[in-house]
Amino acid sequence: MSRSIHGFERRARVAEAVASSGARGARRRKLNVMLWLPIAWIAFVFGCALSADWWPMPEPDYMDFLSQGAPPGTTGEVPIGAFESSEGLEHYVFWLGTDMMGRDIVSRLMFGARVSLTLGLLAPLIGLVIGGGLGMAAGYWRGMLEATAVGVTDTILAFPGIVLLLAIVFYLGGSLLNLTLALGFLTVPAFYRVARANTLTYAEREFVTAAKAMGASDVSILAREILPNVIMPMLVYALLIVALLIVVEGVLSFLGLSVPTAPSWGGMIAEGREYLDEHPRLCFVPAFVMFLTVLSFNLLGDRLRGLTDVRESNI
Amino acid sequence: MLTVSNLRTHFHTGRGIVRAVDGVSFNLARGRTLGIVGESGSGKTVLVRSLLGLLPSTAKFGGETEIGFEGRPLDIRSETALNQVRGRAIAMVFQDPMTSLNPVMTVGAQITESLRYHLGLTGGEARERAVALIDSVGIPMARQRIDQHPHQLSGGLRQRVAIAIALACEPKLLIADEPTTALDVTIQAEILDLLARQQAERDMAMILITHDLGVVAGRADDIAVMYAGRIVERAPTARLFANMRMPYTQALMNAIPRLEAPPNTPLRTIGGRPPDLVNPPPGCRFAPRCPRAESRCTDHEPPLEGGESGHRFACWYPVGEPGAA
Amino acid sequence: MAKFVTLKLLRLIGVVFAVSALTFVMVAMLPADIAYDIAGQDATPAQIEAIRAELGLDQNVLVRYGHWLMSLAQGDMGRSFRSDEPVLDAIWSRLPVTIELLVLSQVFALLLAIPAGVYCAYRAGSRFDRVLGSTGFGMISVPTFVLAIVLIYLFALRLEWLPATGYEPFSEGVWANLRTFVLPSLSIALVEWVPLMRTLRSDMIATLKEDFISMAKAKGLPAWRILTRHALRPSSFTLITILGLQIGGLIGGALIIETIFALPGIGRLLINAIYARDYMIVQGCILFIAVGYVVINFVVDMLYVALDPRIRTAGAGG
Ligand SMILES: Nc1ncnc2c1ncn2[C@@H]1O[C@H](COP(=O)(O)OP(=O)(O)O)[C@@H](O)[C@H]1O
Ligand code: SF4
Ligand SMILES: [Mg+2]
């Protein structure tokens, strides 16, 4: 027994040595680029999603029957902004062209970012709060609480996520609220594990023992001593979850099971698929935007994880 | 048969260059045993691993390093050259039999492997040879043992298996790196006797490494004492014990564990710690811990030079001569 | 070891039970009465009553769950509302396609991951290792369905090497059948292999520092032989865990891949049933997939035992 533990520790140390060896100085610049580029792209997508209403462009659903399947750079006459409030047709350049129904791709991409980001960011927040809270409690008090929580999360994890999601969408309907709740629910076990593992490592530290000795209550120890240490690794982990959820939302909208009323990247890819042979850009432009966004969150999460030092082996 | 000349093995690490072995030279004749003794961290393992190219890629050899084996130069920087001698001509037994055997392969598979690869034996032949080998290293019920995994064997048996593996292809030189340090005291002598017996029967040369002068006392023809990457004293065994010149060797001598001491007591009886090999102290590397040290010791490095009949030592004020004062 | 297996077996039963309850509760929680949904808009109240009775909706939830479990135990999962096909038959007839897809994609993923992981560990830090590491990172950011479309575009539409969609049964010949599976399984494998490769690489780097590898080197064995015979097996325990963990994602991937490539597997059955609001099929598929997933995980645990002789004799502690 002790031997295998010993072996495991040595393995961890070897892994650390591997990770920290190599020319650090030379990688420094690359690391910074790999940190700032994703941040820039995410900020850009965010900006687009927030400001989509204010740009001089047609609504995402407006169909210009004269410019169906128009290539990038084509010009047309469209109402700018919301249809009712617009002042007649105006000259407009379809920078990325239109889809086969004559809808502006730029406009659809910008509005589509809203669904992706809303789901991608709100759902992890639910998982973060519930899973994080549970995980901290389980890691701090241990005992029955921990055993029960492990049982419950194991059962959730026993379902392949996407199937559970389909079940929820099917039985309860695919509104934005339902989807957010369902996806949030699915992320609970993951956050639970990160929170518990990190709490376990901090619960025995001197500053916690010291706080206890000074008569601090459990709740105040959790809030003041443990939370500040556990929150960073969880936030970093959340970035990876966001990347995952953007993909999941893409899958759902690709299948036509996501929020039915809003334009979405996955939906654009699904529609473009019909014309893959003649107009591959209809698929590949939204696909590329989605890829860049997912990649950015992944990169950011990965780099920051290296900095905040989450031990995967504890999870 | 083995000549090591000016071996330098340096590790290039983030902290700087670790001069683990820094200019070691010695010869070893056919059928003889050389004992290498030194505190833990003095570079013994790195020295012998260098000879077989068993170090991580951060290890670099000095430009003047030259190794000769059986009259021919051996290029220790070349995997191809090393693979000509590894296993067939030079074999090695490692310190900890708990980690040196592959946990997921049977004992038999680990022995027959080199028989089949080097000697081209078929499965059946190799198996018979393996049984004979296991038998010859004193493991009872060889036929049953051969199909067991290492974790089913005790430490002593495992080390015997490791010895059997090393002996499989009849090597000319056997290197044993602290083969008993990880074992129970009660079986240490058995393993050492086994090694000595095999060496005599097969007429092998042997390098026996230990941190315990007592271990090599009756078993080595010559002894080299290492400190901080260098050989600091070297002599035929009887001579060395009769007339130790290095204060360091003498300290080692006083540190030989006595019978009543608990087993595996670490060697901490010499005051102070071995020097940092990134920035070794100037002059004699033992000076900071040496009771006889004078200012000359830190100013000039003592060369490894002889007294009579092959006795060499690197010390300005050797034991048995009056000090500087 | 007996203790280890019993423990895992008990967990298996517990989780299967929980899964069945969850699946059932979901149907029981339906917001609108499914009887209306099934009967259509212009059904008479009598018809609706009949359907409700048939489904047992007029009874207490626990009674219904009991009944449902009983018939499940007899292999009766009900019938499709649309085609009247028994649910279990529908699933069984689709199962081979899904299994073939899952197995082939895992095979492709391992064929990519093992050589790449071994070589990258052997030459850790080399240019090849770094390039492959970054490529892998990029690839896991490509959603499976996007990758599928890219592959269709390249290999089916532009190069015309392989069919874009469709399915040929085994009876049409092995090659004809395999051709229809190449792109679907590659779509999954090209994403799945990355974590496998990374895991193997990092475990292998740790293994290569072990004493027994030095020992194998000291025997004078060539590098490839040390890597494959000595280092690979002790480095593959985490790989197998990851393989098991990925199966959940894999089943999810198979759902959408079957839909994109029009492969008549369970995923497509489920998705189509969702479109058609065919409750019994949906319920059956979900239950089946969830239980299948739990069972596969159990098998993975057992594989662990087979691979590591230390667990085989020592017991759960290891
Ligand atoms: N891979 C390595 N990288 C850096 N330093 C090393 C490495 N291996 C050994 N050393 C250093 O080389 C010195 C000699 O080590 P070693 O030969 O193992 O000592 P011994 O076998 O005599 O106990 C030690 O100071 C050790 O820290
Ligand atoms: S040279 Fe000086 S310091 Fe070194 S061992 Fe001799 S007496 Fe001691
Ligand atoms: Mg050593």
Q: Are A226 and A196 found together in one domain? A: yes
Q: Coil, strand, or helix at residue A260?
A: coil
pLDDT tens per residue across span A92-140: 777 777 877 778 888 888 888 888 888 888 999 999 999 888 888 888 8
**How high is the pLDDT of residue B268?**
45
Nearest-CB residue to B98 (from A3, A21, A24): A3
- Over 80: is that where the pLDDT of C98 sits? yes
In a domain, A121, yes or no: yes
Distance CA C187, CA C149 (A): 9
Give the dihedral of Cα atoms B290, B293, B295, B297; nearest 10 deg: -70
Q: Is the pLDDT of residue C9 over 90?
A: no
Give me the pLDDT at residue B226, please.
95
Closest by CA to A230, choosing from A118, A143, A138, is A138
Q: Does C308 fall in a domain?
A: yes
Q: Is residue C166 part of a domain?
A: yes
Given CA atoms B279, B281, B282, B286 in this order, what sign does their dihedral have? negative
Contact status, residue C315 vs residue C8, Cβ threshold 8 Å: no
Does residue A128 sit within a domain?
Answer: yes
Query: Hey, where are the domains in chain B?
Result: 2-78+214-313
Who has greater pLDDT, C309 or A239? A239
Distance of alpha carbon A68 from alpha carbon B267, whole angstroms: 86
Around Cβ B279, how many Cβ atoms within 10 Å?
10
What six digits make up the tokens of A31? Answer: 């690391």
Residue A122: which CATH number?
1.10.3720.10
Cβ of B14 and A21 within 8 Å? yes
Say whether B94 and C215 touch across the interface (CB within 8 A).
yes
* pLDDT-above-90 percentage for chain A: 7
Q: How far apart are CA C146 and CA A288, in angstroms?
A: 9
Residues with Cβ within 8 Å of C57's Cβ and at least 6 positions away in sequence, in order, are C33, C34, C35, C64
Burial of B77 (0-12, 13-18, 19+ CB in 10 A): exposed
Same domain, A85 and A212: no
- Residue A217 lies inside a defined structural domain of this protein: yes
Q: Is B86 on the interface with C (CB under 8 A)?
A: yes
What size, in residues, is chain C?
Answer: 318
C197 vs C207: CA distance, rounded Å: 15
Do A97 and A118 reside in the same domain of the chain? no
- Residue C75 is given by DSSP the state T
Nearest-Cα residue of chain B relative to residue C309: B104
Q: What range defines the domain where residue A162 resides?
A: 53-57+110-308
Q: Tell me whether residues C248 and A167 touch, CB distance under 8 A.
A: no
C175 domain residue, yes or no: yes
Is the model's pLDDT at A17 over the cut of 90? no
Please state the φ and ψ torsions of residue A189, each to the nearest 5 degrees. -60, -40
Q: What number of H helices and E strands is found in chain A?
A: 11, 2
Q: Which CATH superfamily is domain B2-78+214-313 in?
A: P-loop containing nucleotide triphosphate hydrolases (3.40.50.300)
pTM: 0.81
Contact status, residue A32 vs residue A235, Cβ threshold 8 Å: no
Best residue for ligand 1 mutational test, from B18, B92, B208 (most atoms within 8 Å of Cβ): B18
Structure tokens given for A29: 């610049």
Name the range with the highest mean pLDDT among B306-320, C233-247, C297-311.
B306-320
Ligand 1 in reach of B277 Cβ (< 6 A): yes
Using CA atoms, how far apart are residues C123 and C134, in angstroms rounded to an integer?
15
Q: Identity (one letter) of the amino acid at A130?
A: I
Specify whether A98 is located in the same domain as A116.
no
Under 8 Å between Cβ of C227 and C235: no
Q: Cα(B269) to centroid of ligand 2, in Å? A: 18
Assess whether A225 and A274 both reside in one domain. Answer: yes
Average pLDDT across chain C, whole number: 82
CB contact under 8 A, B114 and C221: yes
Cβ neighbors of B321 (< 8 A, separation 6 or more) are none
Find chain C residues with C-beta within 8 A of B152's C-beta.
313
Check pLDDT > 70 for residue A8.
no
Which pLDDT band holds residue B69 (cuts at 50, 70, 90)? Answer: very high
3-state secondary structure of B77: coil
Structure tokens at B285: 């590397």
Query: Are the Cβ atoms of C223 and B56 closer than 8 angstroms?
Result: no
Neighbours of C135 (CB within 10 A): 11
User: Which value does ipTM take for this structure?
Assistant: 0.87
Q: Is the pLDDT of residue C25 over 60?
A: yes
B314 neighbors B304 (Cβ within 8 angstroms) = yes
What is the arithmetic mean of pLDDT over A17-29? 45
- Rounded Cα distance between C113 and C117, Å, is 6
Q: Does residue A171 fall inside a structural domain?
A: yes
Residue B96 has pLDDT above 80, yes or no: yes
3-state secondary structure of B35: strand
Ligand 2 atom 3, closest CA: B287
Whether residue C111 is contained in a domain is answered as yes
Q: What tokens were used for C126?
A: 């080399």
Nearest to B54 among C214, C221, C233 (CB): C214
A254 and A294 inside one domain: yes
Ligand nearest to the CA of B16: 1
Domains of chain C: total: 1
pLDDT of residue C316: 35
pLDDT in tens, C102-153: 999 999 999 999 999 999 999 988 899 999 988 988 888 898 889 999 999 9
Both A77 and A196 in one domain: the answer is: no
Beta-sheet strands, E only, within B59-168 = 59-61, 66-69, 72-73, 90-93
Pair of tokens at residue C273 = 């049933």
User: B touches which chains (3+ CB pairs under 8 A)?
Assistant: A, C
Report CA Rg, chain C. 24
How far apart are alpha carbons C1 and B265 in whole angstroms? 37
- A201 and A288 both lie in a single domain: yes
- Amino acid sitting at position A287: A
Which residues of C, range 227-286, sit inside 8 Å of B by Cβ?
229-230, 233-234
Instruction: List the domain range (segments joined by +) for residue C106.
Output: 87-316
Total domain count for chain A?
A: 2
Confidence of residue A281 (pLDDT cuts 50, 70, 90): confident
Residue nearest to atom 3 of ligand 1 (CA): B11
Angle at C141 between CA C291 and CA C119, to 5 degrees: 90
DSSP state, B222?
E
Please check whether residue A294 lies inside any domain of the structure.
yes
Q: In this structure, are A214 and A268 located in the same domain?
A: yes
Q: Does any domain span residue A197? A: yes
Instruction: Please check whether residue A22 lies inside any domain of the structure.
Output: no
Question: Which residue carries 């949904």 as its tokens?
Answer: C37
* Co-location of A209 and A281 in the same domain: yes
Q: Say if residue A75 is in the same domain as residue A149.
A: no
Tell whether A74 and A209 lie within a shared domain: no
What CA–CA distance (Å, rounded) separates B302 from B300?
6
